[in-house]
A and B are shown apart, each in its own frame.
Chain A
Amino acid sequence: MSLSDLTKPWEAMSYGFLDGSAKRELRRKVLKSVSVPGCQMPYASREVPMARGWGTGGLQVSLTLVRPDMRVKVIDQGADDSVNAASIRRFIARVAGTPTTMDTLEADLIQSRHRIPEEVLREDQILVLQVPNPEPLRPVQPNMSIARQMHADADYGRMWLQLYEQIVRSGRVMQGASYPSLVHGRHVMTPSPIPRWDVPKLHMSKHLTILSAGREKRIFAVPPYTRVEPLVFSDVPYRVEDHGDLICTRSGAKGFFMNEIPQDDGSSSFEVSDSEWGVKTIRARDGEGESRGATWYRDGQFTDTRPGLEPGPLPPHDQEVPGQARDV
């Protein structure tokens, strides 16, 4: 073995920004996290030219996966054109020479914050979710070492208690985002701060989801065809946001997750949160060709009928928990 065997030619900058050892560690940890769905694997989160908490975890996974012919889409709160999404997209394109897209159907790699696209993802697509706080037990157990022990024991009693207390106090589960979900019947994960609307999209999906928290240095994954069941009591069904009746004021799309825009007169208007879905709907309305794919939700109803999760019709809006006051 000579020294030249151990060295590689000098490069001004590693392809995809991350150096070789960072990529190898991420590869090993991604493989482990796929093997144990929903279980948080520690990794040494590297410095990237972006502040921690702005998507560095997802960015590192994207930079590890990326190759020059991979089409990259970046979403921030459902939008492709927000500052954070545009910065990440431009950074990946610059250090990896990849083509970028805003079209969910065209993308090979989708890095997202807060949303899963409304269009159904295919088997060959990878969804990378940025996670600010990966530990679902943190609200009930701030000591991370004890939380790890609770994961090891599959001891989620306090998590259930927290949900129960919300129902007692407010008449319904108040957890709006990061809804704790049981993966493969073993580990409870917090599926990034995606709304409740998006959690059913992870259940038995065709695509691979990798969730990465750069600041907290944890990585976890949901492989394809894996059970992701939101924690619910058998008599209080899981409810997604009541957005089925809302109509987007810009595109006219109905029955999708909406952003609420406050108006001067105190009322509010709505626009579809998945910005590219809105754009496609406007194009279709203007007769510029139909490019929309199938969606998980249709008219506000979840359409997937895989076993294990029967969304069925949503409970009526004014459903009350017996014996409890209705929240206003």
Chain B
Amino acid sequence: MPATLQPSASETRENAAFEALLWALSRPGQVRDLPASGPDPIIEALLDRECRVYAADPLLVPRIMRTGAEIADIGVADHVFLGSAAAPEMLARVAVGSDLYPDEGATVVVAATICEGQPLRLTGPGVDGDIDIRVEGLADGFWKARATRSRYPMGFDLFIQDGARIIGIPRSTHVEVL
């Protein structure tokens, strides 16, 4: 064994992905870079046999199954990959946890274009005052559906992914559609 351990390539990727996710979630609206494009880095960093996962894109299913995670219905999944098919009626079924167990609220990953389109104003923990962002490609009524589902501390935590770029919107963030 060498004197100091060196991380393997997968460990380095997973760590970088987690750091991006952590930074994105603790500072909503700030863009971070994942080590690779698409949902793969998130799958690799977070999922294993203890997870129940829903993926709207069937092409994603084999990659998720490789982690050992169980493919589940959207209502009981703790990680939900909606891709660009994030319809409001799907958000209405996402698990939001309970007041007793807020950690059972799901982590939702959607694909959209960052820095274009619909202007949004975010306030809440992690935001110094307020921050304006633009997101394009989400279905009409997406933010209304999110607001309907959120009754803090219940709610789901959202990652908006644009290629390798990501922004996080935790349930504690208030989103105002401008």
Contacts and interface: CB of A to CB of B under 8 A. Distances in A.
B5 A16 contact: yes
B15 A67 contact: yes
B107 interface: yes
Contact of A27 (B10, B45, B65): B45
B48 A97 contact: no
Interface stretch (B20-28, B111-119, B140-148): B20-28
Contacts of A148: 100
A225 B128 contact: yes
Nearest to B44: A24
A1 interface: yes
A164 interface: no
A16 to B, nearest CB: 7
B-side binding surface: helix, strand, loop or mixed?
Answer: loop
Contacts of A30: 22
B127 interface: yes
Interface stretch (A34-42, A193-201, A230-238, A294-302): A34-42
A5 interface: yes
Nearest to A20: B48
A68 B107 CA distance: 28
Interface in A77-108: 93-97
A93 B3 CA distance: 11
A25 interface: yes
B24 to A, nearest CB: 10
B39 to A, nearest CB: 15
A20 to B, nearest CB: 7
Contact of A25 (B7, B50, B105, B124): B50
B48 A1 contact: no
A125 B78 CA distance: 29
A9 interface: yes
Contacts, number: 137
Interface string A1-36: 100011011011111100011011101111111111
A224 B28 CA distance: 10
Contacts of A224: 26-27, 125-126, 128
Interface string A215-241: 000000101111100000000000000
Contact of A35 (B7, B25, B46, B51): B25
Contacts of A42: 103
Interface residues of A, number: 53
Contacts of B33: none
A211 interface: no
Interface string A34-62: 11110101100000000000000000000
B14 A23 contact: yes
Interface of B: 1, 4-8, 10-12, 14-16, 18-19, 21-22, 25-27, 45-51, 62, 65-66, 68, 78, 98-100, 102-103, 105, 107, 124-128, 152-153, 157, 170-172
Interface of A: 1, 5-6, 8-9, 11-16, 20-21, 23-25, 27-37, 39, 41-42, 64-65, 67-68, 93-97, 148-149, 152-153, 184, 186-187, 208, 221, 223-227
